[in-house]
Protein backbone atom coordinates (compact mmCIF):
# COMPACT_ATOMS: atom_id res chain seq x y z
CA UNK A 1 0.00 0.00 0.00
CA UNK A 2 1.20 3.50 -0.76
CA UNK A 3 1.37 5.45 2.49
CA UNK A 4 2.72 8.74 1.11
CA UNK A 5 -0.49 10.65 1.91
CA UNK A 6 -0.53 9.30 5.47
CA UNK A 7 3.11 10.34 5.93
CA UNK A 8 2.32 13.79 4.53
CA UNK A 9 -0.49 14.20 7.07
CA UNK A 10 1.88 13.21 9.89
CA UNK A 11 4.46 15.69 8.57
CA UNK A 12 1.87 18.48 8.55
CA UNK A 13 0.67 17.58 12.04
CA UNK A 14 4.27 17.65 13.30
CA UNK A 15 4.30 21.42 12.78
CA UNK A 16 1.89 21.72 15.73
CA UNK A 17 4.00 19.72 18.18
CA UNK A 18 4.54 21.33 21.56
CA UNK A 19 8.09 20.39 22.49
CA UNK A 20 9.82 23.30 24.30
CA UNK A 21 12.03 20.96 26.36
CA UNK A 22 13.32 18.35 23.92
CA UNK A 23 12.86 20.33 20.70
CA UNK A 24 12.07 16.90 19.18
CA UNK A 25 8.83 17.40 17.26
CA UNK A 26 6.83 14.31 16.34
CA UNK A 27 3.71 13.99 14.24
CA UNK A 28 1.53 10.92 13.76
CA UNK A 29 -1.40 9.96 11.58
CA UNK A 30 -3.44 6.83 12.22
CA UNK A 31 -5.46 5.25 9.41
CA UNK A 32 -8.61 3.32 10.31
CA UNK A 33 -9.76 0.30 8.34
CA UNK A 34 -12.65 2.44 7.05
CA UNK A 35 -10.25 5.02 5.60
CA UNK A 36 -10.54 7.77 8.21
CA UNK A 37 -7.37 9.47 9.43
CA UNK A 38 -6.69 11.01 12.84
CA UNK A 39 -3.54 12.99 13.57
CA UNK A 40 -1.62 13.70 16.74
CA UNK A 41 1.51 15.44 17.98
CA UNK A 42 3.73 15.18 21.01
CA UNK A 43 2.75 17.52 23.83
CA UNK A 44 5.49 17.98 26.40
CA UNK A 45 5.09 19.11 29.98
CA UNK A 46 7.48 20.52 32.59
CA UNK A 47 6.59 17.43 34.61
CA UNK A 48 8.15 15.13 32.01
CA UNK A 49 6.07 12.09 32.96
CA UNK A 50 2.97 13.93 31.80
CA UNK A 51 4.28 14.27 28.24
CA UNK A 52 2.00 12.77 25.59
CA UNK A 53 3.51 11.11 22.53
CA UNK A 54 2.16 11.83 19.06
CA UNK A 55 1.19 8.21 18.41
CA UNK A 56 -0.90 7.90 21.56
CA UNK A 57 -2.44 11.31 20.94
CA UNK A 58 -3.56 10.19 17.46
CA UNK A 59 -4.86 6.86 18.79
CA UNK A 60 -6.70 8.66 21.59
CA UNK A 61 -8.40 10.99 19.13
CA UNK A 62 -9.50 8.06 17.01
CA UNK A 63 -10.74 6.00 19.94
CA UNK A 64 -12.62 9.00 21.33
CA UNK A 65 -14.51 9.10 18.02
CA UNK A 66 -15.46 5.42 18.34
CA UNK A 67 -12.71 3.89 16.19
CA UNK A 68 -11.20 0.56 17.18
CA UNK A 69 -9.86 -0.94 13.94
CA UNK A 70 -6.63 0.44 12.49
CA UNK A 71 -4.72 -0.37 9.33
CA UNK A 72 -1.64 1.81 9.80
CA UNK A 73 0.01 4.59 11.75
CA UNK A 74 2.58 6.96 10.28
CA UNK A 75 5.19 8.58 12.50
CA UNK A 76 7.39 11.49 11.47
CA UNK A 77 10.10 12.63 13.84
CA UNK A 78 13.19 14.78 13.64
CA UNK A 79 16.50 13.53 12.37
CA UNK A 80 17.86 12.21 9.12
CA UNK A 81 16.50 8.67 9.48
CA UNK A 82 13.05 7.35 10.38
CA UNK A 83 12.48 6.85 14.11
CA UNK A 84 10.29 4.06 15.49
CA UNK A 85 7.66 4.71 18.15
CA UNK A 86 8.79 4.35 21.76
CA UNK A 87 7.97 1.17 23.65
CA UNK A 88 4.94 2.70 25.38
CA UNK A 89 3.49 3.79 22.04
CA UNK A 90 4.18 0.40 20.49
CA UNK A 91 2.33 -1.24 23.38
CA UNK A 92 -0.59 1.13 22.78
CA UNK A 93 -0.58 0.31 19.06
CA UNK A 94 -0.46 -3.49 19.50
CA UNK A 95 -3.43 -3.21 21.87
CA UNK A 96 -5.41 -2.79 18.64
CA UNK A 97 -3.46 -5.30 16.55
CA UNK A 98 0.00 -6.70 16.03
CA UNK A 99 -0.53 -6.55 12.26
CA UNK A 100 -0.97 -2.75 12.10
CA UNK A 101 1.53 -1.23 9.68
CA UNK A 102 3.90 1.25 11.32
CA UNK A 103 5.11 3.74 8.73
CA UNK A 104 8.23 5.59 9.87
CA UNK A 105 9.60 8.66 8.12
CA UNK A 106 12.03 11.49 8.66
CA UNK A 107 10.96 15.08 7.96
CA UNK A 108 12.25 14.68 4.40
CA UNK A 109 12.75 11.63 2.25
CA UNK A 110 11.21 8.21 1.96
CA UNK A 111 9.56 6.03 4.54
CA UNK A 112 9.84 2.48 5.80
CA UNK A 113 7.01 0.16 6.83
CA UNK A 114 6.99 -2.65 9.36
CA UNK A 115 4.36 -4.41 11.46
CA UNK A 116 3.77 -3.27 15.04
CA UNK A 117 4.27 -6.83 16.26
CA UNK A 118 7.70 -6.97 14.64
CA UNK A 119 8.78 -3.80 16.44
CA UNK A 120 7.47 -5.11 19.78
CA UNK A 121 7.69 -8.90 19.58
CA UNK A 122 7.12 -9.46 23.30
CA UNK A 123 4.18 -7.14 23.89
CA UNK A 124 2.18 -7.42 27.08
CA UNK A 125 -1.19 -9.14 26.62
CA UNK A 126 -3.85 -10.16 29.08
CA UNK A 127 -5.23 -13.66 28.78
CA UNK A 128 -8.88 -13.69 27.77
CA UNK A 129 -11.15 -15.02 30.49
CA UNK A 130 -12.53 -18.45 29.69
CA UNK A 131 -16.31 -18.52 29.69
List, by residue number, the catalytic residues: 55
Residue 115 near residue 101, CB atoms below 8 Å: yes
Q: Which long-range contacts (CB under 8 A, 24 or more apart) does 61-70 make?
A: 62/30, 62/32, 62/36, 62/38, 65/36, 65/38, 67/32, 67/34, 67/36, 67/38, 68/96, 69/32, 69/33, 69/34, 69/96, 69/97, 70/30, 70/31, 70/32, 70/33, 70/96, 70/97, 70/100
How many Å apart are CA 90 and CA 106, to the nearest integer?
18
Amino acid sequence: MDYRKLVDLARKARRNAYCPYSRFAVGAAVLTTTGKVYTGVNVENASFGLTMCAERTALGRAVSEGERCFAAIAVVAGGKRPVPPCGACLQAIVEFGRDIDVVMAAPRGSHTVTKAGELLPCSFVLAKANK
